[in-house]
Amino acid sequence: MRSFIPKIIAAASIFAAIPLSSAYAVHRHHRAAVDTTTTASVPADPEARVATQQLLGVKQGIREARQAGKITQDQARDLMRQADAIQPTRGRSAIGQINELDQRLQNASGQGTYIG
């Protein structure tokens, strides 16, 4: 009986490894092509990715506010300069800076919330 148990354990481990190895082989041969022109500039860190997306949204808001005439050219230039100074790879601190910049944009365009 004792000589039979190691054989069962060896057979069970081999049978358990077969599906894993075949799944690995299939995954390895069917990799999707990665477009490096679009993914090279996107940070891998989720916080940095969110900060980058928020920063792009604020910059778009600055352009739209300028085109709508809600802010002057000087205000738009100053806000854009502040947006360019923010490094989205800094994660949470960058998100805080972006939120402050967004609030400045809302105040400059007359859409800010006033408490007082």
How is 74-114 classified by DSSP, letter by letter?
Answer: HHHHHHHHHHHH--GGGTHHHHHHHHHHHHHHHHHTT----
In a domain, 98, yes or no: yes
CA 2 to chain centre: 56
* Of 88, 107, 106, 84, nearest in space to 96 by CA: 88
In a domain, 84, yes or no: yes
- Provide the residue range defining the domain that includes 65: 42-108
In a domain, 53, yes or no: yes
pLDDT tens profile 29-77: 555 555 555 555 555 678 888 889 999 999 999 999 999 999 999 999 9
Same domain, 56 and 104: yes
Placement of tokens 């060896």 in the chain: 10
86 burial via Cβ count (<10 Å: 0-12, 13-18, 19+): buried
CA 59 to chain centre: 16
Same domain, 46 and 102: yes
Q: Does the model's pTM come out above 0.75?
A: no
What is the number of domains present in the chain? 2
Residue 22 pLDDT grade (very low, low, confident, very high; cuts 50, 70, 90): low
In a domain, 69, yes or no: yes
In a domain, 37, yes or no: no
Same domain, 22 and 62: no
Q: What is the mean pLDDT of the chain?
A: 77
- 92-108 and 73-85 are packed helices; what angle lies between their axes, rounded to 10 degrees? 180
Same domain, 25 and 73: no
In a domain, 103, yes or no: yes
